[in-house]
Chains A and B, each alone.
Chain A
Amino acid sequence: MAEMWISMGPQHPMTHGLWTLKVKIDGETIVDTIPDLGYIHRGVEKICESRDFTQITPYCDRLCYASANTWSHSYIYAAENLLEVEVPERAEYIRLIAVEIQRIASHLMWLGAYCPDIGNLTAFVYCLREREMMLDLLQELGGSRMHYNFPRIGGVKRDLPHGFAMRCRAKVKLFLQRIHEYEALLDESTIFLIRTQGVGYAKPEEMVNHGVTGPNLRAGGVNYDVRWAHPYSVYDELDWTPSVERSSVKGADCYDRYRVRLDEMKTSAELILQALDGIPGGAETFHESGDPALIAKAPARASDGQTGFHHFEDPRGESMFYLAGGGDERGKNPYRVSIRSPMFITIPYAAKCMIGYKIADVPAIMGSFDPCIGETDR
């Protein structure tokens, strides 16, 4: 049978964003793929060169609509390395809580978007129900629903609001119970199992060589996580282990990637509970914004020759900002900002990974890697 190219996207339910996957098929079997990105390239890196260090944070929020907080934190840690700032411990705990709530919300968004792709619409509604609780918590912290602009260089914008700890504990505990509902919905759904098990095998060594990190890698049976390998924040003071999935001999399939994210949500929920208990000064005390317990004084300028970078564990893998100082004459702006987007590297790998499977497996395999095009195109 003759081979032919099919263009999936830019408008296609599989893409989870705006991009094209060109698929070459022989009958129904995929023999080659070419991903085509850049449909929503906004030039964030160039814009940041003419903004000062505090003005960049909102742009980083907008890199990914599903996990804004992790991206602004990723930038803030790099900027703190550039400007040589040490953050108060209370602020680090608050950041950890904000990032882990965001990680749960992001994984729920992923699960909610993935299930309809492969024929299980019910789980979508359940996932968004719990995501709403997480967004409410983040709204209390940052003041808005999606783009929080929460961290500041040297600390955080605001303390935990009155009663936040109580509401957060209640919601996280309720969430931990409701995870079992997803497991019941999905692990007993024949359609879900048929579509995800045995497709999209990926082996850890190959994934690392291709630059794939994060939950996608841990699904393959290794526990590498930036949060312990290059510790930042206060992850080393809490008792946790990264989620690892026992994959099959051929590597991690779509089902393993689903399991590892489900497990990671539990880990994050437990981290939040521990952080609320361990936060210095107590979770119920409230400091006014600008208090030294929340934010440290930070220089606003970095001279030519200063650089800073930070590897950060994003829900989609390892994200990173590299900043070079000395942008304008006075050093108020960065000279160069460059962003490592985990999905920009993972999408080409996922496209390679689906060669040999059927064309109907494209949404299952692509969705299981959790693509987010906002951060990919920047």
Chain B
Amino acid sequence: MGMKVNHEKQVAAANDVITALEAEFSGEGLSCEVRMHAGGKHQRSYVYIDCPPSIWAIVAETLSEVHAVDHCSMITGIHWPEKSPEMEWQVVVHLMRMSVRNPPSNEGIVMPIISDASILQGSDMPLEFEVSIAIPETRNPSIPSVQHVWVGADWNEKETWDLVGIDFEGHNEMRRVLQPHETPAGFHPLQKQHKLRYHEFNEMYDDAQGFARKSEDIGKVK
């Protein structure tokens, strides 16, 4: 029936990437494994990489040049103030190997590339990557930028700095994208010290702003 990527070949392709990465970077603290998506009926695997911030730029270049990872899907940051000193901040990067090439042309007529999912293998195999980069306790979290590897990372990094406050070294023209331009320096709303008002008392229905609480309700939890 419909097109479907062969799962065994996908796992084999993921293992190829993992073997190569571990051979090159395991001495520098990188570790990786094949993981499975937990939900749904399909068996779907992805490559999970745990990467120290110091070698992230080199790992990204290797992924792009050697392993044909051509698409940076999302870069996002998480603030973990209470987790552990080794990981107060975390950057999670989602990459994809799409194996997209410019279609060839013959005498000015472009021949579209129609890949057949059932015969794809090796470095043509579509793969998902999740990279976790832990940043130890600091007031100025920062990791290298990968804007030069995938241009699509540019706005993702802008957004991560804007909302979470993780800086990207080597990123040019870092600026606010979702917040107003005149937002005070150092204000990054997704950091956990900023709480929504509902957090403190478990009430959200009759006094959403929390200004005029009825005296008889004080101390009660809804």
Contacts and interface: CB of A to CB of B under 8 A. Distances in A.
Contacts of B218: none
A230 interface: yes
B72 A211 contact: yes
Contacts, number: 192
Interface residues of A, number: 72
A127 to B, nearest CB: 26
B31 to A, nearest CB: 16
B30 interface: no
B152 A244 contact: no
Contacts of B155: 211, 344-345, 348
Nearest to B80: A335
Given A50-B196, A348-B155, A311 B40 contact: no
Contact of A37 (B72, B92, B178): B178
A45 B74 contact: no
A85 B190 contact: no
B74 A81 contact: no
Interface in B137-176: 150-156, 159, 163, 176
What is the interface of chain B mostly: helix, strand, loop, or mixed?
loop
B103 A220 contact: yes
- Measured as residues with beta carbon below 8 angstroms from the partner, the interface class of chain B is 35 or more
Given A38-B180, A211-B73, A232 B151 contact: no
Interface string A197-241: 000000111011111110001001111100011111001111111
B201 interface: no
Nearest to A76: B39
Contacts of A43: 189
B110 A222 contact: no
Interface in A30-61: 37-38, 41, 43, 45-47, 49-50
A377 interface: yes
Interface stretch (A128-136, A181-189, A245-253): A245-253
A73 interface: no
Nearest to A45: B190
Contacts of B113: 221-223
Interface in B107-154: 108-115, 117, 126, 128, 130, 150-154
Contacts of B76: 322, 336, 338
Contacts of B198: 50
A38 B152 contact: no
Nearest to B199: A50
B101 A222 contact: yes
A340 interface: yes
B100 interface: yes
A322 B154 contact: no
B105 interface: yes
Contacts of A50: 196, 198-199
Contact of A244 (B73, B114, B130): B114
What are the nearest 5 A-B pairs in CB distance?
Answer: A211-B152, A80-B39, A229-B126, A221-B103, A221-B112
Given A210-B151, A246-B111, 5 more contacts: A38-B176, A221-B111, A230-B44, A236-B1, A247-B110
30 contacts: A38-B176, A38-B177, A38-B178, A38-B180, A49-B196, A50-B196, A50-B198, A81-B37, A83-B39, A86-B41, A89-B41, A204-B101, A208-B71, A209-B70, A209-B150, A211-B156, A220-B103, A221-B110, A221-B112, A224-B100, A229-B98, A232-B42, A232-B44, A239-B2, A246-B111, A308-B39, A309-B130, A335-B78, A338-B92, A345-B152
